[in-house]
Amino acid sequence: MVPGTATPVRLPYDEPSYNDLLGLFPPGTVTAPDGGLRIGGCHVAELAERYGTPALLIDEGALRARARRYADGLAARRPNSAVAFASKAFPCTAVYRLLAEEGLSIDVASDGELALALAGGTDPAKVIVHGNAKTDDYLRTAVETGAGLVVIDNFDDIDRLERILAGTPGREQPVLVRVTPDVRPDTHEAISTGQRGSKFGLLLPQAREAIARLRGSDRLRLDGLHVHVGSQILDSEPFVQAVEAVAELGDFDVYDLGGGLGSRYTYEDRPPSVEDYLDTLTAAADALLPASARVIVEPGRSMVAEAGVSLYRVVTVKRGGGETFVAVDGGMGDNLEVSLYGQRFEATVATRVGGGEPCRLVGRHCESGDTLSAGVLLDDPRPGDLIAVPVTGAYTYSLSNNYNGSCRPPVVFCHDGQSRAVVRRETHADLMRRDLP
């Protein structure tokens, strides 16, 4: 019951335990003797004092462990394989550098992500170039830097690449054809990409045309096929259906099976584990694809989401009208997932972890839709309290913005009790840097 009212607030779940809550934070997150969270061995209160709020905290050890879990797990199941990070989930040079150190390939979806990946030390030969509207400049940069694979999304990609390669005699660009398998997973419409009507890829009849044309090209080398059906998928069946679809197109040397594995954002989410996901994919590949073919997977959200925690400070607490509004110093400027996709996030007072009253956690932006989480339990929230929101490593950074002139937060890596900013906080001077007199 909200204090001071007679209106009960219904929770979207059974009241969670302390361990349920900690289970959403990066593995190894604990509470200090004073009750405060420690992430990557760093106390959140000390991090807030040093870096300010809002801030995006990344447990570096958790991110490395996740990368190894994917790479080792896939290699054990399918030796001729590779893991490529779908970098649109977190296009930050420090993340590119860390995953390059772990031996991962990288997929990029724009010339900006390509520039960041190369700046982060990614081997160009391990870059997979994506995009449904690749410009001449983007493709030219990909060719000139030696990108390992370009994914053909449409016939214009073929025209552009052949024209670009005409100026570099003897150069051959390896490519994959992106197939739209007409598979619709149970996810938000905006992040479903494999169904008929998607702007991505080619349906099977058009994919066959592209395959035939590429096999006749003297500048483009067709290595295989690519398929990706969406993001935040909590069921294995769509992945099997996608493999079945590309298997109809014949035998190839490479099959990039995309990503899409969902992350556990809430107490009720039950996504397949990395191991279950890899079991499903490799079993389908073993049954339907050539034994000698190289299999690539492209995890994005499921690679980085659980390593991240957003840290805010409470500015106001407003009770009345049947709800308790807890307003923090961030919001839709640093987390658009709620507004765009209706994604739910859990949260806690960072120095009094777990339990409390149902609250509506809202941001500071001038829009009623600026809600971070509704019906979340917060223990006696007061102005000045720190609020920690887990599972924010994916897409919060890449979708951050300057709504209401807000300055984007820093990214802080935490590991073994040490912290370092890998992206500094934006300033008002940054907001005006591109303005002309």
pLDDT digits (tens, 9 = 90+) for 3-44: 333 344 445 556 677 778 899 999 999 998 888 999 999 999
Considering only the top CATH level, what class is 18-60+306-432? mainly beta
Report, in this order, helix, strand and coil percent for the chain, each rounded to 5.
30, 25, 45
36-88 pLDDT, tens per residue? 999 999 999 999 999 999 999 999 999 999 999 999 999 999 999 999 999 99
Backbone angles phi, psi at 166, to 5 degrees: -60, -25
The number of angstroms, rounded, from the C-alpha of 175 to the middle of its chain's C-alpha atoms is 24
CB of 59 closer than 8 Å to CB of 53:
no
CB atoms within 10 A of CB 240: 17
Mean pLDDT estimate for the chain: 92
262: left (phi over 0), alpha (psi -120 to 50) or beta: beta
- Token duo for residue 270: 């039950």
Q: pTM value?
A: 0.93
Q: Residue ranges per domain, the chain? A: 18-60+306-432, 61-303
Nearest to residue 20, comparing CAs of 387, 379, 353, 360?
353
Give mean pLDDT, residues 180-201: 72
Over pLDDT 90: what percentage of the chain? 81
Q: Residue 12: what pLDDT?
A: 56
More confidently predicted of 141 and 5: 141
Beta pairing class for 220-227 and 254-256: parallel
Q: Round to whole Å and give the CA distance between 332 and 365.
A: 7
Confidence check: pLDDT of 184 > 80: no
How high is the pLDDT of residue 196? 74
Rg (CA), the chain: 23
Q: What whole-number distance in Å separates Cα of residue 177 and Cα of residue 212?
A: 11
Q: Domain 61-303, CATH 3.30.465.10 — does that match?
A: no
CA dihedral over 207, 208, 213, 218, signed as positive or negative: positive
CA dist 221 and 430 (Å) reads 44
Q: Could you give the CA distance from residue 294 to residue 289 in angstroms, rounded to a whole number?
A: 10
- Tell me if 40 sits within 8 A of 60, measured CB to CB: yes
What pLDDT, on the 0 to 100 scale, is given for residue 13? 59
Q: Is the pLDDT of residue 281 over 60?
A: yes
The pLDDT tens digits of the residues spanning 328-368 come to: 999 999 999 999 989 999 999 999 998 899 999 999 999 99
φ/ψ of residue 388, rounded to 5: -110, 130
- Of the two residues 191 and 31, the one the predictor is more confident about is 31
pLDDT at residue number 191: 64
pLDDT in the model for residue 35: 84
Residues belonging to the active site: 366
